[in-house]
Amino acid sequence: MAFISVGIDHEHAPLDLLERATVPEEAWGKVLGALLANANINEAVFVSTCLRTEVYATIDRFHGAVDEITATLADATGVPSEELASVLTIHFDRGVAGHLFRVAAGLRSAVPGEHEVLGQIRRALERADEEHAVGPELAELFRRSLGAGRRVRHETTIARGTTSFAQATVAMAERELGDELTGATVVVIGAGQLASGVVKSLRDCDANVGALVVVNRTADNAQSLVADAADARIVARPLADLTEVVRHARLVVAAIEAPDVVLAGRDLLDRQGDLLIIDLGMPRVVDADVDDVAGVRRLDISHLRDVVQHTLAERHEAVDAAVAIVDEEVEKFHEDRRSRGAAAIVGELRERLEHVRASEMARRRADFADFTDEQREIVESLTRSLVAKIAHTPTVALKEAAGSDRGQRLTEATRNLFDL
């Protein structure tokens, strides 16, 4: 079996397509089931975040698997196969580990070194395991990628400074508003992990905001975030109060996943002063009609690129060090995989040859009836030595070719020749 990854990401697909192709977690099980129903897919893990939607799988046939995965993604997202195919990123076999390890290390993130991606990869693996969609080969690939990601963050400085969407968002807000952010009222829509990061980054930023209002559909979640942030400036309000709350705000950050728009132009007609809105939702949760309201400016994930470029310039050495670690971990993974693959077929081959030797010795036992114990042991030793010498050349060939196309052909031939 070979690895494959097929998907779209922010480096190769426009934001509006990524937005349409995002699949909520409650639908992941259905996607995994549809993937495994295909003839060429044996195991699968489905990753869908705000900036990437990808399938990782073990497969039998490359082209058949690509077509099946593309069709499944089209069905799951509602995006036509032809439109997806024009921006798909495909990695095969050895290239899959290199890609996934870089994703886990934050080297493929909009914000280099961001830590949220590790949790996203871990959750994707857990969900695939819950759906019985992942087997030992793919699970090991994902576990090793998580280990590589943790090592990169521990051994390099890539995770220092602006290392998350939350921090990048606040850095962008500080750059856009400058002194206007000091003492200002800020509204954060949402109470999940991303919203929590935004609130804490705003709490700790140099601008010293005046008030932080957390608005969320579920009041208990908003209250929990406020309690965890532990700052008198931070309060919680229900989503029903959003129009009132934004009236006096200078900054609104939408950090929520929602199927529908939560803030539109009609909600801003009575506000006072200028307003900056940063929409981190995927799909976006702030209606584009807010752009028509005087004094309102809307930014989204695509505008974080300037922050990212600045971050990249600061972390050139850290990125190089991270790449070196990832390359090392990828090579270790492939070496271990080759060893595991070779060990299995070599073990089966030697077991088969030993079975033949032992069976033949048992069948000819009467021929050695007059032998002494010492003589019988000499015959046993001789036959074992012959079997070892016969097995040596195919063993070396299988080990050297393990993990390659040639190794797969040799393995298949060995199974056929020795009836394994």
Q: How confident is the model at residue 259 (pLDDT cuts 50, 70, 90)?
A: confident
The residue-averaged pLDDT of 32-47 equals: 96
Domain at 2-161: CATH architecture: 2-Layer Sandwich (3.30)
pTM assigned to the model? 0.67
The residue-averaged pLDDT of 33-54 equals: 93
Q: How confident is the model at residue 313 (pLDDT cuts 50, 70, 90)?
A: low
Question: Which pLDDT belongs to residue 94?
Answer: 87
Q: Give the span between the Cα atoms of 420 and 411, in whole angstroms.
A: 10
By the 8 A CB rule, do 228 and 196 touch? yes
Among all residues, which ones are annotated catalytic? 50
- For 165-304, which CATH class? alpha beta
The residue-averaged pLDDT of 23-29 equals: 92
**Residue 310 pLDDT more than 70?**
no
The residue-averaged pLDDT of 213-237 equals: 92
Q: Which two tokens stand for residue 18?
A: 């990524």
DSSP-assigned states of every residue in 376-415: HHHHHHHHHHHHHHHHHHHHHHHHHHTTSHHHHHHHHHHH
Question: Which pLDDT belongs to residue 176?
Answer: 92
Q: How confident is the model at residue 341 (pLDDT cuts 50, 70, 90)?
A: low
The residue-averaged pLDDT of 1-13 equals: 90
By the 8 A CB rule, do 176 and 169 touch? no
Q: Give the span between the Cα atoms of 32 and 45, in whole angstroms.
A: 7
Q: Give the span between the Cα atoms of 351 and 214, in whole angstroms.
A: 65
